[in-house]
Structure 1
């Protein structure tokens, strides 16, 4: 191998490294172009397969990925003048190869269940190219069986780049215990939630990653020494790793101490999330686990075998959210408006909604029905680009529906300016309503409505 040959990790692997995955060493060698860029081939070091005929498995699993590039080749994706050879180096009793090529008349890949040759371009990516070869579990493969799949990419200069993947039949399927809704949680209290991780897969979990996230109105009561807290997340995220933690198939562990969260006094609804994964598989596709962060200074999270009550409830995979309903309320009030003027004159009316507290609700809307005979000639607008504005309210059957500023805190007000051309005396109205996902638990609904009057 040329001493300057190297491995260039593919985008998926770079993302995996960002997410603290341990997909392992990628192997490959190649030639160096005049620019200094190096030819490469990259595959996952380890990949788990569903057993034959089993369609279950982890949520949104990261797909198998192969990338290869000959830096001395033309970047012409329509020219297939390179060769990719894929071999199962074992018996083929556990792992076989599947060709995915939509061209029936002129396929670029051909071969057997244990050896396939594909004609590819000098810049190959199995996620985007039409010619793909994937390993799959053979009918006779049993959970825990493994074989090695070898990849060889031939350059135009006659050199061969190689890489290998150890492919295992069966998967670690990591799930967390979840509670969908915590109701009537006291404002200013401490919310406790168990941290239970279960392996519902066919092979052991060898190392666990865990990410915890909290929404507005929640904060971590303590920070564990074996977790890190990314600074850019402003204390709303914890990332923990347990490389020595093994969970046999079908078993579960409980982490101590429980997740403890401080509940704010001003938030009606909030949420927190959990996501756990096998370290050698990684979290769900498109999940983002930030790098960096300082370790906590509190007690370490430690694992014990889960038993009895720990195993009760619902377990789910992927990014699992829990809603938190705080036992408080928010009293919104709209104020009456009167306007005087001659017929045909234009006047600005300011519709005001005030939050009398004590909590900050979610999204609400202000509805304005102009007085009979009045014509709206100006309404609230929002910027959608530099010096470009559009109305922020929607008109439906004579009523304007405007979003109230999200997070309108106790004691704050929002104002909506409309310009009316008067058409004579009459009375319209203004009111505030909750959206489908908001319940202010308003103790005084009578002040949610007020008249908008044009006087004689």
Structure 2
């Protein structure tokens, strides 16, 4: 099995590599490419088109080509690193291993870096989904970039009785023949724009194939001008391992107490699992204890590779010694995620950038029966909550308001967590009681919440006299809410802000600062502006003037009538 030795190179001193998010060079259909860049600023590798990540900080991923075909798939929520690390380690290959024959071209050559084993499930009853096989070549020289035209030829005659071709990408011919030929663009850009040339081929087990039966898929990549050529082969195994991991369940811990994580792994597939990897990804409020020699450690995560372990179908192994974590001083409700997967067949042992290899006793996988009360999870990843005995001092943030009657003023109220505990997702409420001499004219408003059809942080149910503002307290910084008020009168009684805990919020040992005043100082009546004078006095003046005019007019008419009547009387004989 010489092909399998391709990935067994030294993992202690690989090149420092990462994958940026820039677009890869143009490729033919179903070509997936990666650019390998030096790691910068301690960031994890970011995968480009070859590993499409969907679903935000929460981690759905799958291998795709430009034609959206096949590959390894998985999903993660809070166990995001554990799962994404699978994809990262597949492609972040360190020192180029020695593959099949390669033809040099001015210092550069094509080297086969494909996975040495590909599994084809034995039908839907196994619970395994067929994937497309993928072969990968790496150009080792400093080419001009852009690549050159070429072809990949698959010789499928070695698959007889085990697997058959079920589909070919666009640009391929010979689906029903012994040799499938696919047009390909050979990526040969210089560093740091290095990209792997990848070609996929749909394979499935043939009817009657038995678990463990193995065929050989041979392949060659050659440029049209004949100057570049690389070849290799991979084992195609009927059946597939299916690893399950034990469910740990929720745990409790004291501050500073080490927490042991017993892990069991079971192979529920129909062929032997060759090699094992596992990853551990606690939230940053937990620290990993110990540094095993076959594990690599980042800021808050770790992953380990046990390449030589074999887990037969139905067999269970125990990870020894158990993994351990300990709460940091701020831990209240941390989350621990972990995952297991196949070993070097799908996961390369090169460390990720900014990860350091441990020097302690290595982890082992020991055959053992799991306790009767242990449940196994499928897919092979899990997470559990830890409740830590801790406290948090929540202090209300009040305010001082100053202004004349009728003026509009801005006020910011809220709360701050003074620690030591910092909950991950505990809900904390700030209850704002508006001073009697003011009213709310504009409560806090977040347009993004409206766009996402989510409720605003602050709500009222008593005609704007009291607002309840709620946020998920995950940071030790002030949580503030901005209101606009109008001063309505000279009532200078204060309002208040009160902090209320709910959900998983820890105990608050200091109650004296849970309430803060919102003081109102009225500096005078509303100013009598010209507009105000007109609007306030003009109707009265106008009414008085009209009334006075009417009285005078009436008096004049009466006097005039009397004079006319007197004159008529005098003239009468």
Normalised by the length of structure 2, the TM-score is 0.58
1:164-243 aligned within 5 A: 164-182=233-251, 184-224=252-292, 226-230=293-297, 233-234=298-299, 236-243=300-307
Residues 272 and 321 in structure 1, CA contact (< 8 A), matched pair in contact too: yes
Please, which of 377, 384, 387 is the counterpart of residue 325 of structure 1? Answer: 387
Structure (1/2) with the larger helix percentage: 2
1:65-214 aligned within 5 A: 65-67=134-136, 75=146, 82-90=150-158, 92-101=160-169, 108-112=172-176, 114-121=178-185, 132-158=200-226, 161-182=230-251, 184-214=252-282
Structure (1/2) with the larger strand percentage: 1
* Match status 1:49 vs 2:120: yes
> Take 1:321 and 1:356, find their aligned partners in 2: how far apart are those partners?
29
What are the Cα deviations for residues 54-96 of structure 1, in whole angstroms up to 9, with x where unaligned? Answer: 56349xx99632346999999599xxx7443222132521011
Aligned residues: 409
Please, which of 449, 454, 475 is the counterpart of residue 407 of structure 1? Answer: 475
Q: Which runs of 5+ in 2 are unaligned?
A: 1-31, 35-49, 51-85, 189-195, 447-455, 523-573
Q: Which runs of 5+ in 1 are unaligned?
A: 1-8, 381-392
CA displacement at 1:440 relative to structure 2: 0.2
* Match status 1:440 vs 2:509: no
> Take 1:325 and 1:128, find their aligned partners in 2: how far apart are those partners?
48
> Take 1:365 and 1:32, find their aligned partners in 2: how far apart are those partners?
65
Residues 424 and 454 in structure 1, CA contact (< 8 A), matched pair in contact too: no
Which structure has the larger Rg? 2
> Take 2:377 and 2:33, find their aligned partners in 1: how far apart are those partners?
33
> Take 2:183 and 2:385, find their aligned partners in 1: how far apart are those partners?
51
Residues 22 and 280 in structure 1, CA contact (< 8 A), matched pair in contact too: no
> Take 1:434 and 1:62, find their aligned partners in 2: how far apart are those partners?
49
Residues 90 and 347 in structure 2, CA contact (< 8 A), matched pair in contact too: no
Normalised by the length of structure 1, the TM-score is 0.70
1:391-406 aligned within 5 A: 406=474
Which protein, 1 or 2, shows the higher relative CO under an 8 Å CA cutoff with sep ≥ 6? 1
